[in-house]
Structure formats: structure tokens, C-alpha cells
Amino acid sequence: MKISPNPTREKSTVQTNMVTLAIVTSLIIITVNIVLFFFISRAMDVVNRVYSTNVTIGELSDSLGQVRSSMTEYLNTKSTDSMEQYFDACQQYRDSLEELATGGHGRDNTAILNDIEGLSETYLSVTDDTIQAKRGRVVERYNALYERSEKIYGYINAYIYILNNEQFRRNSEKYATLRVSLRYLSAIIVSVISIVSVINILLTIVMTKNIMDPVRQREIIMETHLKDAELKYLQAQINPHFLFNTLNAGAQLAMLEDADKTSDYLQNVAAFFRYRIKDENKDTTLEQEIALVDNYIHILNVRFSGEIHFEKELDEKCLSVSVPGMILQPVVENAVNYGIRDIDREKRIILKVERLPELIRIRIEDNGVGMTEERIKEVMDGRAGENPVMKDSNGVGLANVTSRLRLFYGREEVMHIFSEGMDKGTIVDILIPAPVPEE
């Protein structure tokens, strides 16, 4: 007697294997993202700490100068306000000196720091005596104490200068080491992504082998996995050089700018990468995509001294529409790298969102070098290729965006490119279905 296969049991086995595959793959991807996020956070922390010592030393020098100027002002005016400023300046200088001594900043230069501390105590004692002599009108003592305070002030300044230079040299060595580490991190990122892709493929082959009908069922599952793998692959093309160059710019800014600007910059970098490591199987909103573009433009303007003028004209009613992730930033990046990057005039990008009768049109317009009709056709046909010179690109081109939009919406007409010719700018229109209003 021939026993017929049990369809219910076969369906249950297939479902169990597919669920197991999804869980294993998700765990691998989550683990990789957590590890990458950890390394990125560590690198950003190091960037913050590398030049914080020089900032602290600079604050110490400023506090010392404030002590001297407030003392001089009192000696000239003998006003109550100048006396209060002097005591405040002395306290601030002591606080800065204590922070430098106890915060671990000067542990590599203990001898110099000890000299500064000793001279500082003597200096503050002499300035106090100078002020007391002035108040008591003991002119001869006041003049002698003032001259002595000036000599000690010069000695302290010289030691602070030596300490700052020595610390800057050490920080430069640490920064060079960090750059090498980031290069290795870039290589690790590429390797990990490749390994995960291989493991995912192997797991798919092992767990789907011989569990479906040799013809029809295998075609169905292959079609499903092909679309899923294509979406993941297209969305995962991040060039590690972009991470390196961004953190490099952050280190430069930490050295050259004040803390507020650095904080604002790093917050935009963090927001950018937080967006990139989230679950990319989920769609997002047009508003969130525009926020990502804002982060990206902010990062570029820090690196390129605010050369990019970015304008937005948005229909607020369209911003809540669902879209696939990473469809606007790559287009804006393309406009920067291939449109306005090397022009001598004002660099301008305009982002417009407007409602058409049945569509929402997202327009990215630049005033850059423009495109020929032949080049536009190559881009739209996916034959343009990526420029290897653009090392700070995130690696996601217009063909990538077009492919994901077509997969997401199931329609071919999702992007148009216009240009009146060379040096006349370029317009990229993204066309997505508008949601049907509720009655």
C-alpha cells in the first residue's frame, strides 16, 4: 500500500524551516549591526578625547590671563567690581588647574604640570599680596610685588606653552594610530558583510534543499528570496570610506572649532549612522528621508566650509507618505559629487516636494555641470557605473535607487532626469504614487 504525502505536514515542515532561516539570518544581521555600531561609537569617543587635552590647556591659559587682567584693572581703578572679577578669575584658574591635574590629561607630562602647579600657587600668592599692598598704599612694596608677579606670569605661560606643544605632539601620534585603526575597520566592515552574505546564501541552500516541489515550489521560493536578497544587497552598499572621511572631518573640527559646533556636527553624524543601521526591511516616511538629507548636507558643509546652499520647498501634506529607505540622500550625494563639487560659482541644491493629481513628485535640482542626453540615457539604463575617484561616496547610485523604487511600488516610471546641457544644472524627479484620500 502506497502512502500519500501529508500536505499539512509538508506545509508545516516548510514553514518551520523558513521561520528558522529567517530567525538565524536576522540574528546574524543584528549581531553584525551591533558590533559595527560598537566600533563606530568607540571611534567617535576617541575622536572626542584626542584633542580635549589641548582644549583644557587652552582654558587654563585663558584663566591665567583673566587673573592678570583683573588684577591689573584693580590696580588701575581700585573698584569693587574689579576686585570681585579678580577673585572669580582666581577661582576659575584653580578649577582649570585642578581639572588638568586630576582628569588624567597631564599624566604624560607630570614634571611640567608640577612646575605649573608650584608656580601657580606662588603667582596667586604674589598677586594677592600685590593687591593688599595697593589697598594699603605701600607704593614701594606694591611696585616690587607687581614686577615679581609679571615675571612669574611669564614663566607659567612658557610652561603652559611647552605643555600644550608636547600634548599636541602626543595627540597627533594617537590620531595617526586612530587613522590606521579606521582603515582596518573599513576592511573589517567589507569582510563582515561578505561573510554574512555567504553565510546567508549557504543557510538558504541548506535549509531549502529538497523541502519543496522540484519545479513549481522551488521557483516560487527562489523568486521570493531573489527579491528579498536584491533589496538587502542594494540597501547594504555602504562605502566604508565615507565613514572614515566623516570621522576624519569630526576630528579636524574637534581640534579647530569650539565644543558647541563639534557637538552639533557629531550629533548629525550619529543621526546619519543611526538611520543607516536600523532595520532596512521596514519602510520609512518621506519626512524621515528629508531629515537624513539635512544631516548629510550638514556633514558636507562642515567638511567644505559651508559651500553648499541647500533650499527646501515642501508640501507638508505629502511628508507622511511611506517610501523605501535611502532614496533621497544618494540622489543628493550624486548631485554633489557629479554636479556642483568642482564648479567655481555658488553651489546650490533645491529639494522640492509637491502633490500632482495622482503622484507625488520629489525634485532634486542643482546648478552644477549638467548632463548630456547620452549620459542621461546611460544613467537611466544602469550603464553609467560608479566613479572610483569618489571615495567618500556611500556607494548607492541612481540605478540602485531606481531599482528599489520599482521593486517597492511595482511600477516602471519612478524617475526622470532632465538637463538643458553642460554647465546648466541637472534635475532629478522621483515620482511615487500618491495615497488615495479617505472619503
DSSP string, 183-246: HHHHHHHHHHHHHHHHHHHHHHHHHHTTSS-TTHHHHHHHHHHHHHHHHHHHHT---HHHHHHH
Count, residues in the chain = 439
Q: Which of 178, 203, 228 is the last residue of a domain?
A: 203
Q: Which of 151, 183, 203 is the last residue of a domain?
A: 203
Domain for residue 1, yes or no?
A: no
User: What pLDDT is recorded for position 273?
Assistant: 60
Domain for residue 219, yes or no?
A: no
Q: Pick the closest to residue 407 from 222, 223, 275 (CA basis).
A: 223
Residues 131 and 176 in one domain: yes
Domain for residue 45, yes or no?
A: yes
User: What pLDDT is recorded for position 112?
Assistant: 84
User: What pLDDT is recorded for position 352?
Assistant: 96
Residue with cell 608636547: 166
Q: Pick the closest to residue 350 from 378, 331, 325, 377 (CA basis).
A: 331
Domain for residue 58, yes or no?
A: yes
Q: What is the pLDDT along the chain (439 residues), one digit of tens a residue?
A: 333 444 455 556 666 766 776 787 777 778 767 876 776 676 666 666 656 777 888 888 898 999 999 989 888 888 888 888 999 999 999 988 888 877 655 556 678 888 888 899 998 999 999 888 888 887 788 888 989 999 999 999 898 888 888 877 877 776 677 777 777 777 777 777 778 777 778 767 766 665 555 546 656 655 664 566 555 555 555 454 465 566 556 656 666 666 556 656 666 666 566 555 554 446 889 999 999 999 899 989 888 788 899 999 999 999 999 999 889 999 999 999 989 988 999 999 999 999 998 999 999 999 999 999 998 888 887 776 654 444 444 445 788 888 889 988 888 999 999 999 888 999 999 999 998 776 5
Q: Left, alpha or beta for 415 (phi > 0: left; psi -120 to 50: alpha)? A: beta
Residues 421 and 376 in one domain: yes
Q: How many domains would you assign to the chain? A: 2
Domain for residue 87, yes or no?
A: yes
Residues 199 and 264 in one domain: no
Domain membership of residue 35 as a residue range: 7-203
User: What pLDDT is recorded for position 393?
Assistant: 47
Cα distance between residue 155 and residue 184, in whole Å: 44
Domain for residue 185, yes or no?
A: yes
Residues 141 and 26 in one domain: yes
Q: Pick the closest to residue 405 from 334, 327, 322 (CA basis).
A: 327
CA separation (Å) from 14 to 17, 149, 211?
5, 86, 6
| In contact, 405 and 430? CB cutoff 8 Å | yes
Residues 261 and 306 in one domain: yes
Q: Which strands sit side by side in the sheet containing 347-355, from one edge to the other?
A: 308-314, 347-355, 359-366, 426-433, 415-418
Residue 149, Cα to own-chain centre: how many angstroms? 47
Give me the helix-helix angle, 52-77 and 110-135, nearest 10°: 10
